[in-house]
Every structure is written in structure tokens, then in C-alpha cells.
Copies of this chain bind each other. A is one copy, B any other.
Amino acid sequence: MDFGITFKGFVEPQRARNLVRQAEAAGFSHCWFYDSHILWRECYPAIAMCMEHTSKMKFGPCVTNPNSRDWSIAASLFASLALQSEGRFVVGLGRGDSAMRVMGKKPANLARVAEFTQKVKAMVRGEEVTYGESPEPVKLPWSVGYELPMYIGAYGPKALKTAGEVGDGVILQIADPSLVKWFAEQAISAGKDAGRDMSDYQIIASAPAYMGDMKKCRDATRWFPAMVGNHVADIVEKYGAHSGLVPESLTQYIEQRKGYDYSKHGQSDNPYLDFISDEIIDSFSVLGEPDAHIAKIKELEAVGTTQFNIYLDSGEEEHIIADYAEKIIPAFR
């Protein structure tokens, strides 16, 4: 089991430098940054900065999208980060949620996500690539042939199919083992149907972790199901609640959902948190005393999860990393 942490761009730079050092020493192998360049700081300068303070940790956006940057810019950026970190750059990719909506733009469709995945990987690899926005084909003459891992964030059946067909893994924003299993199986099945070898396919469960008494844990992580609910709403709208295509446990809580304030995306003072039950909070995150963390992560491991990625947005970052270093990660070594 790999362990990851995810930052928002909000973290003060000196603290970010120190947190990645602490996390690397603690045994975390991945560090992810939200990519939503208006709500938060542009994540790639922060990634480059943090790379200078680590030697083994891998970094990537969680998640970027095909519409924020010209594809040759994205490819050059990704290949440059991989090169200057000696291969420690990976990508999480989605359709573009907050990054697009705050500009009044639409997320990309899944065909575009798939095309971005394949063409940006090819450009990073050094191949000549033609894509829609560039009159001339693009080839990076300085490429060193890096094979960029791209993991696709998905919930809905079609996104999971895309993730399985073209991604190197799937990012699931949830830590409920049965839902992770249900989502992951769809992606892997789609990959196998497409004739791919899925033996090294990555299943990344991303969610908050919080330690201590459950009241405090729930208060600190209530924002997460609210944020995730936004994506669930998209799925339910597209595939139909109670259609059999979306699991009941995922759609239930969305029905009372009243709205979502994008200017407070991912923040704990988002006002639309009331409808979320304790059961949902407990299921979506990893909460409680150390033993409860170990037990839940073991369950995630049992259903095929290859990385548990902690959303470090609930405060107490140094404490959470220290607790994982001392009490949780050693149980997986």
C-alpha cells in the first residue's frame, strides 16, 4: 500500500516545504496538489518547489483537466517537471470541475479526456503529435522518453470506462471500501475488454483522514462528502438515480442536497453541509483512533486499493503526518 497526501494551494510555502519533507520521511510516496488555478495558487510552481526538498516522493495534480492549458504547454510542463525531478512526476486527470466553472466554462467531455491522455503522454514521450488547437504537429526535441503515468479521476460508468481504457490508474475520491471495489471493478473490466494488461493498474482512494474522537473527526471532515456530492450529482443527473447504474448508497444522500457554493469549493465553511449524515462522513473518510485507520486501510487494500491518498485540508497537517509516521504506516511495512 502506497500513501499519499494532497494539498490545496493555500498552504503557506515554507510550511509546504516542511510538510513534504516530513511526509517523505514518514513514508508517504506521493504528494498531490489541487489544480484549480483561480481558486487556489497554480500548483506546478509549488510542485517544482517541493521537488527540491525531497528525493523519492512523486508529485502530481489531483486533478488537472484538458481545457486549462494548451496541450503542448501541458506536455512541456509535465515533461519538464519529470526531467528536473528525475522521474518523480505523475498526473491525475479529470474533466475539469472548479477550474472551468469559475471561468464560466464547461468541463471537457470524456472523449477529450481520453484524447488528452493519449496525446500528452505521446508528446512527453517525444513523439510527433497533431492536435486540434495547433496548426502544426508538435514534437518536443528535448524529450528523454519519459513514460508519464496518468491516473483518471472517475465516478460515473463512462468515466470509469475511459479510466480503464486509457489511464494508468483511476483516482476515486472516496474511502468507502465497497464503493471503491464497485468503481475499481468497472475500470479494470473496461481495460480488460480493451485488451490491456491491468496487472499494474493503480487504484487510488483519495479522502480525508483525521485522528481522535469521532465528534472532532466528523466536524473536521464534513466538508468532504459535500465536495464529492457535487460530482455525484453529475452522475445521478446523467445516469439516473435508482437506475441500477449508480449504487444506492451513493445516491441516497444527494437527494436532500440543496446547492453548492463554488467560491467555497473544498472549504470547511461551505454552507451546504447540513444534509450530510454521520454515516456518510464516516464512510467517505478515514476517521477515529489509530486502530480504526489501520483497519479501514487494510479493508481498502483488500479490495485492490494501491494508494491511500489523504486530503490534508482539515487542519492539523503536521499532526496527521506525524501520527501516520508513528502509528499507521508501520502497520503496512
Provided the pairs A18-B21, A49-B52, A72-B103 are in contact, do residues A80 and B42 lie with their beta carbons within 8 angstroms? Answer: yes
Provided the pairs A21-B21, A104-B134, A136-B104 are in contact, do residues A42 and B319 lie with their beta carbons within 8 angstroms? Answer: no
A103-139 CB mask vs B (1 if < 8 Å, else 0) is 1110000000000000000000000000000111011
- Cα distance A330–B230 when bound, in Å? 37
- Cα distance A321–B48 when bound, in Å? 25
- Cα distance A139–B319 when bound, in Å? 33
A41-81 CB mask vs B (1 if < 8 Å, else 0) is 11011111101110100000000000011101100110111
Q: Quick check: B9 and A142 within 8 Å, CB to CB?
A: yes
Report how many copies the assembly holds.
4
Q: Which residues of B contact A49 (CB under 8 A)?
A: 48-49, 51-52, 84
Q: Quick check: A73 and B68 within 8 Å, CB to CB?
A: yes
Q: Does A140 interact with chain B (Cβ within 8 Å)?
A: yes
Report A294-323 residues with CB < 8 Å from chain B CB.
316, 318-319, 321-322
- Cα distance A136–B262 when bound, in Å? 13
The residue that A73 contacts in the complex, of B37, B46, B322, with Cβ under 8 A, is B37
Number of interface residues of A (CB under 8 A): 57
- Cα distance A74–B192 when bound, in Å? 40
Report A224-245 residues with CB < 8 Å from chain B CB.
none
* Min CB–CB distance A264 → chain B (angstroms): 10
A149-170 CB mask vs B (1 if < 8 Å, else 0) is 0000000000000000000000
Given contact pairs A41-B80, A69-B70, a sample of 17 additional A-B residue pairs in the complex whose CB atoms are under 8 Å apart:
A14-B25, A18-B25, A37-B72, A37-B76, A38-B140, A39-B141, A41-B79, A41-B83, A41-B142, A42-B73, A44-B44, A45-B80, A47-B48, A55-B55, A69-B69, A103-B135, A104-B135
Residues of A within 8 A of B (CB): 9-10, 13-15, 17-18, 21-22, 25, 37-42, 44-49, 51-53, 55, 68-70, 72-73, 76-77, 79-81, 83-84, 102-105, 134-136, 138-142, 263, 316, 318-319, 321-322, 325
